[in-house]
Amino acid sequence: MTDSTTEETDSSESVPEEKPQMFRDFMLPKGVLRAIDDLGFEYCTPIQGAALPYSLSDFDVTGQAQTGTGKTAAFLITILTQQFEYPLQVPNAPGTPRALIIAPTRELVLQIESDAQELGKYTDSKTMCVVGGIDFQKQKDRLESESIDIIVATPGRLLDFARRRIINLGKVEILVIDESDRMLDMGFIPDVRRIVHMTPHKRKRQTLFFSATFNDEVMNLASQWTIDPHHVVMSPESVVTDTVDQQFWAVSSDEKNTILLKILQQDGHTRILIFANRRDQTRYVSSFLTSKGIHNAVLSGEVPQKKRISTLDNFKSGKTRVLVATDVAGRGIHVDDISHVINYDLPEEAEDYVHRIGRTGRAGTTGIAISFISEDDAFNIPAIEEYLGHAIRSQHPEFGEHGESVG
């Protein structure tokens, strides 16, 4: 049976501005709460506080939120709680998950897997990622020999394993579709549709559907794959205003390298993430920094997967302090102590601006986002202003003791 029925709902909630809820208010399993405590979290983010009462009560949820708002923890806590409260008397056969999480990029899948392992370390739930670019045989061997509770996957490799009957999606209890708009942009929706139809009918599973935007196409997908969902809206300006100091620096194209070098030569940085719009631009910026004696690494779609994983691990561990990335590769970067995000180029899509600067100011800390505005970048400003809901004020760069702009 396919999920082609369209059912709409008026159930919607914008995240209110009120005292944040505490995780312990939800009566979560002790193992999950212990893992949350280990991570140093006590209060829910707004989207967690709004979504968890419904997702933990087995309702479908659609959430409008960017990466960095806490939505990953919201759906992982829901999955781990359900699997704890309703344990299987007999484990599923190998390759037959109880929960399936689909995401558009390998980096994001790997990050979700890491988060699931951290949140689930005191539970019996087993998590595995299924992605391309990583040893096929190794993944196949594990899927054929172990009972995996949670599979996190990119659409292509997951569909490959499902067609080979190595993965059976017929017993999925919770389906999570993350960054739906990004999957739509990347052309993955036909594959996602095939995957969804391999899971139980939407009346027999819970579906959690997240997207940074809800245009007509995304709304249509959500209505097809969910039943009477509770809709949570996390506005983009509330994501970035409180914890990120946004600075827009008016520079010429010829000045970008000089200004970038001055920023990196200041003290007071932990990790610095530099975004460029194109792969060749990341190579150019990286080569310039290397020529000036600044150790750095590149994360882009043309870097082989194994190298991308090791590069990201080095950045997380602090072995690499400066990372130059494109937007696609940057989707998997979830590091709590990035002090600065630098937009060497302003992104062409306004949503990507919010996503980029959300890499800093995470986990209750503050961060600085510096965007270079040259004559070439100025064309992208109106869309960003409209998306944020306010005008952008540029300034000429000045440097304080710790590299912050002053004046």
- What CATH number is attached to the domain comprising 225? 3.40.50.300
Q: How confident is the model at residue 399 (pLDDT cuts 50, 70, 90)?
A: low
Q: Is residue 381 part of a domain?
A: yes
The predicted pLDDT at position 5 comes to 38
At residue 329, the 3 state secondary structure works out as helix
Mean pLDDT along residues 35-56: 91
Mean pLDDT along residues 18-31: 86
My answer on whether 228 and 249 are in the same domain is: no
Last residue of some domain: 196, 214, 234?
A: 234
The predicted pLDDT at position 407 comes to 37
The predicted pLDDT at position 21 comes to 86
72 vs 403: which has the higher pLDDT: 72
Mean pLDDT along residues 256-277: 89
pLDDT digits (tens, 9 = 90+) for 267-320: 778 889 999 999 999 999 999 999 999 999 998 878 777 788 788 888 988 899
My answer on whether 249 and 215 are in the same domain is: no
pLDDT digits (tens, 9 = 90+) for 175-189: 999 999 888 888 899
Q: Is residue 406 part of a domain?
A: no
Last residue of some domain: 216, 234, 252?
A: 234
The predicted pLDDT at position 7 comes to 40
My answer on whether 131 and 226 are in the same domain is: yes
By the 8 A CB rule, do 226 and 207 touch? yes
My answer on whether 73 and 90 are in the same domain is: yes
Q: Is residue 156 part of a domain?
A: yes
Q: How confident is the model at residue 357 (pLDDT cuts 50, 70, 90)?
A: confident
pTM above 0.85, yes or no: no
My answer on whether 208 and 259 are in the same domain is: no
Spatial neighbors of 214 by CB under 8 A, at least 6 apart, are 62, 64, 222
Helix (H) / strand (E) containing 350: helix 350-357
By the 8 A CB rule, do 44 and 23 touch? yes
**Residue 81's domain spans which residues?**
12-234
At residue 53, the 3 state secondary structure works out as helix
Q: Is residue 211 part of a domain?
A: yes
At residue 251, the 3 state secondary structure works out as coil
Q: Is residue 341 part of a domain?
A: yes
The predicted pLDDT at position 243 comes to 78
Mean pLDDT along residues 115-131: 96
In one letter, which amino acid is 124? D
Mean pLDDT along residues 368-382: 90
Mean pLDDT, all residues of the chain: 86
- Percent of the chain predicted with pLDDT > 90: 57
My answer on whether 247 and 174 are in the same domain is: no
My answer on whether 139 and 275 are in the same domain is: no
Q: Is residue 5 part of a domain?
A: no
User: Phi and psi (nearest 5°) for 323?
Assistant: -125, 130
My answer on whether 188 and 290 are in the same domain is: no
Using the CB atoms, write b or e for 208-218: b if 16+ within 10 Å. Answer: bbbbbbbeeeb
The predicted pLDDT at position 186 comes to 83
My answer on whether 161 and 249 are in the same domain is: no
My answer on whether 57 and 192 are in the same domain is: yes
* Helix residue ranges, H only, 17-152: 30-38, 46-55, 71-85, 106-119, 136-145
Q: Is residue 301 part of a domain?
A: yes
Lowest mean pLDDT among 17-26, 81-90, 369-378, 388-397: 17-26
My answer on whether 299 and 339 are in the same domain is: yes
pLDDT digits (tens, 9 = 90+) for 190-207: 999 999 999 999 999 999
Q: Is residue 54 part of a domain?
A: yes
Nearest to 52 by CA among 31, 30, 81: 81
User: Phi and psi (nearest 5°) for 185?
Assistant: -65, -35
My answer on whether 230 and 260 are in the same domain is: no
Number of domains in the chain: 2
In this model, does residue 241 exceed pLDDT 70?
Answer: no
In this model, does residue 45 exceed pLDDT 60?
Answer: yes
Torsion-angle region of 322 (φ positive above 0: left; ψ -120 to 50: alpha; else: beta) = beta
Last residue of some domain: 234, 251, 271?
A: 234
